[in-house]
A and B are shown apart, each in its own frame.
Chain A
Amino acid sequence: MRVSVETDKCCGAGQCVLVAPEVFDQRDEDGVVIVLDEAPPAEVHASVTEAAQLCPAAAIALS
């Protein structure tokens, strides 16, 4: 699994950080998403998939 984000779209709602804190964080200054692990291990795939689904701005892409 590869994780990429469109930071322009991100509205800083933090849903991804709530669901998959191992993989996502937010920039302190404006809350925009940061990907901590672009190729996360299998045990977090389910939560990363949920994060992508919950992201209100549809800013998270998985491939």
Chain B
Amino acid sequence: MTQTSAAAPAWTTRRATGCPFDPPPARSGLLGREPISRVTLWNGGTAWLVARHADQVALLRDERVSADNRRPSYPSLSAASEATRAHNRAFITMDEPEHNEQRRKFTGDFTIKRMEALRPRIQEIIDELLDAMEESGPPADLVTSFALPLPSLVICELLGVPYEDHAFFQRASAYLVDTRSTVEDALTASTELVEYLGDLVERKVSAPGDDLLSRLATGYLATGLSTREECANEARLLLVAGHETTANMIALGTCALLQHPEQLAAVRDGDPRLVAGAVEELLRYLTITHMGRRRVALADIEIGGTTIRAGDAVICAGDLANRDPEVFEDPDELRVDRQARRHLAFGSGPHQCLGQNLARVELQLAYPALLRRFPGLRLDRPLTEIPFRTDMAVYGVHELPVTW
């Protein structure tokens, strides 16, 4: 079972007032002071909090570190995420060799070549959304008019999920990523989503289309290589991961650029090469996956002079790694022309984001298109009144009122 310790400070995602883009002050001092420290979790358990970039990369690549959330000391995010972990039994919580066997069912669908081929279609979706936004505004909520529908439409087309059902699955995923959800609400949302996707994959066995879930249906479900439950859990992972994350990068990234007008102008007027670099920098600077990568040590592991014992819970705080001065000069500055490729916003090790090259293409097209369409884009409310997603598994903004 998890150990408790009165001395360890509580894990928190609370940021300082007026600094919505910087890691919580409770953590940001650790890099220089205490690169490996203890934190207390919501359930009274404790975990090692790993701050440095180099230590995190070493741990996340280490086969003696497990991502399996069924282990008793696994540092789960919340009561809700612990309750729904059976549906989480997809490759994101599996260890080698099972993890890569399952992940490889999908890696062919996310190659650089395939993602590059999606560019024209993604640009088309962007242009349509911006047309609609221009017609109905100003003002507008950037989240509902652009940031959320863009990745939702894209992942729906790729998976073969009917976009008409977006109200249902967006609401269900919102419960899943909210650490304040009741166990009951999270379980209902998770079960509904898995039932819905299970039915969908089953229907695709007899009526396949040209999409990822149809390939899963015909290649794995119909052949008996995977069960309905496995397919549904995998589809749930792809659907939730595919829109929550990118949506928040679009909205939070825009919000950050609006606070840094020179950087914004560089992105708006930049060539594709500069924009690609700017996307890496925004991923680094914002680290929307602010809950850290959660793991359990399977053996005693010595790291930075500290021994993590077998069975100990570990949190690799990506937001701190991405502000590590050993890797990034003046790490607290947003500089869109820097070399930020070593950021850990997509994690590291074998679980590094499967959809990262889809996210890259979406973001590389979304920011300049938005900024070029609305050169006068600005917040329609003071920054201090923007609702930030402090308690969500993925950081960002709940809404972003803008005008132009």
- Seen from chain A, the residues whose Cβ lies within 8 Å of a Cβ on chain B are 8-9, 11-15, 17-19, 26-32, 50, 53-54, 56-58
Does B347 touch A at the CB level, under 8 Å?
Answer: yes
Interface of B is mostly: loop
Task: Count A-B pairs with CB separation below 8 Å.
Answer: 67
Among B108-116, B144-152, B308-316, the stretch that binds chain A is: B108-116
Q: A53–B348 Cα gap in the complex (Å)?
A: 11
Q: A15–B342 Cα gap in the complex (Å)?
A: 10
Q: Which B330-358 residues have a C-beta within 8 angstroms of A?
A: 341-342, 346-354, 356-357
Q: A12–B346 Cα gap in the complex (Å)?
A: 13
A50, A56, A58 — which one has the most chain B CB atoms within 10 A of its CB? Answer: A56
State how many angstroms separate the Cβ of A36 from the closest Cβ of chain B: 13
The 22 sampled A-B contact pairs (Cβ below 8 Å) are A8-B100, A9-B350, A11-B103, A11-B352, A12-B111, A12-B354, A13-B346, A13-B352, A13-B353, A14-B110, A14-B111, A18-B112, A18-B357, A19-B341, A28-B108, A28-B111, A31-B107, A50-B341, A56-B60, A56-B61, A56-B352, A57-B352
Task: Assess the B61–A12 pair: CB atoms within 8 A.
Answer: no
State how many angstroms separate the Cβ of A5 from the closest Cβ of chain B: 14
Task: Assess the A54–B350 pair: CB atoms within 8 A.
Answer: no
Q: Which residues of A contact B353 (CB under 8 A)?
A: 13
Q: Which residues of A contact B349 (CB under 8 A)?
A: 56-57
Q: A15–B107 Cα gap in the complex (Å)?
A: 13
Q: Which residues of A contact B351 (CB under 8 A)?
A: 11
Task: Assess the A31–B110 pair: CB atoms within 8 A.
Answer: yes
Does B14 touch A at the CB level, under 8 Å?
Answer: no
6 closest A-B pairs (Cβ-Cβ)? A12-B107, A31-B107, A56-B352, A26-B111, A14-B112, A31-B111
Q: A20–B112 Cα gap in the complex (Å)?
A: 12
Q: A56–B347 Cα gap in the complex (Å)?
A: 8
Among A13, A29, A30, A58, point to the contact of B356 (Cβ < 8 A): A13
Q: A32–B103 Cα gap in the complex (Å)?
A: 11
Q: A58–B104 Cα gap in the complex (Å)?
A: 17
State how many angstroms separate the Cβ of B156 from the closest Cβ of chain A: 22
Given contacts A12-B110, A14-B111, A26-B111, contact A57 B104 (CB under 8 A): no
Task: Assess the B108–A57 pair: CB atoms within 8 A.
Answer: no
Q: Which B84-110 residues have a C-beta within 8 angstroms of A?
A: 100, 103-104, 107-108, 110
Among A17, A19, A32, A50, point to the contact of B107 (Cβ < 8 A): A32
Q: A17–B107 Cα gap in the complex (Å)?
A: 14
Q: Which residues of A contact B357 (CB under 8 A)?
A: 13-14, 18
Q: A8–B356 Cα gap in the complex (Å)?
A: 20
Q: A29–B353 Cα gap in the complex (Å)?
A: 18
Q: Which residues of B contact A14 (CB under 8 A)?
A: 110-112, 356-357
Q: Which residues of A contact B341 (CB under 8 A)?
A: 19, 50, 54
Q: A30–B346 Cα gap in the complex (Å)?
A: 20
